[in-house]
Amino acid sequence: MTENKIPYKIYLHENEMPTHYYNVRADMKKKPAPIINPATMKPATAEDLEPVFCKELVKQELDDTTAYFEIPEEIRSFYRMYRPSPLVRAYCLEEKLKTPAKIYYKFEGNNTSGSHKLNSAIAQAYYAKQQGLKGVTTETGAGQWGTALSMACAYLGLDCKVYMVKCSYEQKPFRREVMKTYGASVTPSPSMDTETGRKINAEHPGTTGSLGCAISEAVETALTSEGYRYVLGSVLNQVLLHQSIIGLETKTAMDKYGIVPDIIIGCAGGGSNLGGLISPFMGEKLRGERDYRFIAVEPASCPSLTRGKYAYDYCDTGKICPLSKMYTLGSGFIPSANHAGGLRYHGMSSTLSELYDQGLMEARSEVQTDVFKAAVEFARVEGILPAPESSHAIKVAMDEALKCKETGEEKTILFGLTGTGYFDLKAYEQFNSGTMSDYIPTDEDLAAGFAGLPKVE
């Protein structure tokens, strides 16, 4: 069905919502490299992974041939509470930029977790529940993932233990409080509850923690607690699978109105949002049905795709999780403290890494002052205060639209607006007051990270 006037916001009807997740690996001729068990240094088996992860999720993680996984009714029912998310035509931004380009964004921020993270949180919690578990453990930095998971667990009546990086726990009391409101226990990490935590506290008295340490505490707690498993909000194949709901909804909405994007843009940290948004479009490209340009946008201060190495690396700084082949800055790499937003992960989803390595996707990095400038311009005309992460995509979408202005091309640009910035106002304050600065790691900085890469194969 093609309608003449494209509405500001396209909402699918409930009966048009996707019934299956799409697994882009199924259409890749050269598959992403398998994950490796750090104990054996061999490809990880289901048995290796099941003490840490839920059974069904392990299946999804390892399956690179099944294209579609049915979305269970209970998950679909939860999705109906906050999905479909709108596909928005950015008429006001187009007018402001005076571009002939047509700009669309898929807005994932209209739920209390404030981002797309909820899409995978509910799926992971559902499979934990289905397995008869009591609860799940996870880590959270800024708190977006922890919030999403606590919402999903509250809905399903599962216990949720979140290890929150101590400095975030102290600096972001509101994020913490949302999680508690949804019934999660939130422990500042490093804590005295785990062996890892006690060890780190003893070795580094007064430490404010790190994501790597919080991961270790969450995994340890899952391994030592009867009826618990560990869950993760990005990087993993299963997360990209669940997040394909973003791209599937987008594609259905675009098809309905006869819209074909020329360029598809997403911000990239671990890859959950970008992978989800592009999946069905990438599938078409992989099957030779249609061509698209894909652009991953990452912070200049954490440039895994644009300046990283494609190699096997540890997924966590504690080196207890499986190893993954990915574009990485080394598991010891920590972005500069002046970096305000998320997208701080040292590596990139192995699927996206492989697609990038095959030349099927481009990547670009942006400094944060440019990103916030784009964010504020966007907010003032489109009304939505974007998360700093999402604003990386906004920046490049605006750049591409301005190129169209120069060339006169009427390209169709699609980007993912992953979330809102209500809990990032400290960073906006820095930008508004002119005290925000940029940091681009030197080659020497990066060399230190690369030195820590493990020898594999």
Using CB under 8 A, which of 258, 380, 402, 456 touches its own copies?
Answer: 380
Smallest distance from its own copies to CB 416, Å: 18
Q: Which of 457, 88, 76, 16 is nearest to 242 (CA)?
A: 76
| 11 vs 36: CA distance, rounded Å | 41
Paired tokens of 417: 């607006």
Residue 310 binds its own copies (CB under 8 A): no
- Name the residue type at position 243: Q
Count other Cβ atoms within 10 Å, centred on residue 28.
Answer: 19
Residue 279 binds its own copies (CB under 8 A): no
Structure letter (DSSP) for residue 130: H
Using CB under 8 A, which of 385, 401, 414, 436 touches its own copies?
Answer: 385
Smallest distance from its own copies to CB 6, Å: 10
Q: Binding string, 431-450, against its own copies, x = CB under 8 A?
A: -x------------------
| 217 vs 219: CA distance, rounded Å | 6
Using CB under 8 A, which of 108, 313, 382, 400 touches its own copies?
Answer: 382
Q: Binding string, 71-110, against its own copies, x = CB under 8 A?
A: -------x-xxx---------x-----------------x
3-state secondary structure of 310: strand
Where does residue 139 rank: exposed (0-12), middle (13-18), buried (19+ CB within 10 A)? buried
Residue 16 binds its own copies (CB under 8 A): no
Residue 351 binds its own copies (CB under 8 A): no
Where does residue 309 rank: exposed (0-12), middle (13-18), buried (19+ CB within 10 A)? middle
Q: Tell me whether residue 49 or residue 153 sits nearer to its own copies (CB atom).
A: 153
Task: Please give the residues from 409 up to 428 whose contact with its own copies meets the rule CB under 8 A.
Answer: 420, 422-423, 425-426, 428
| 136 vs 128: CA distance, rounded Å | 7
Using CB under 8 A, which of 14, 255, 409, 410 touches its own copies?
Answer: 14
Strands 9-10 and 87-89: antiparallel
3-state secondary structure of 42: strand
Residue 383 binds its own copies (CB under 8 A): yes
Q: Tell me whether residue 409 or residue 429 sits nearer to its own copies (CB atom).
A: 429
Task: Please give the residues from 143 up to 172 whose contact with its own copies meets the rule CB under 8 A.
Answer: 151, 154-155
| 372 vs 160: CA distance, rounded Å | 33
Q: What share of the chain is helix, strand, coil (3-state, %, to 5)?
A: 45, 20, 40
Smallest distance from its own copies to CB 86, Å: 9
Using CB under 8 A, which of 69, 182, 281, 312 touches its own copies?
Answer: 182
Residue with tokens 């080394």: 330
What's the 3-state SS for 234-249?
A: CCCHHHHHHHHHHHHH
Q: Which of 230, 446, 241 is nearest to 352 (CA)?
A: 241
Using CB under 8 A as the binding criterion, the count of chain residues that bind its own copies stands at 42
Residue 51 binds its own copies (CB under 8 A): no
Smallest distance from its own copies to CB 322, Å: 32
| Interface ranges with its own copies (CB under 8 A) | 7-9, 11, 13-14, 78, 80-82, 92, 110-112, 114, 151, 154-155, 173-174, 177-178, 180-183, 376, 379-385, 420, 422-423, 425-426, 428-429, 432
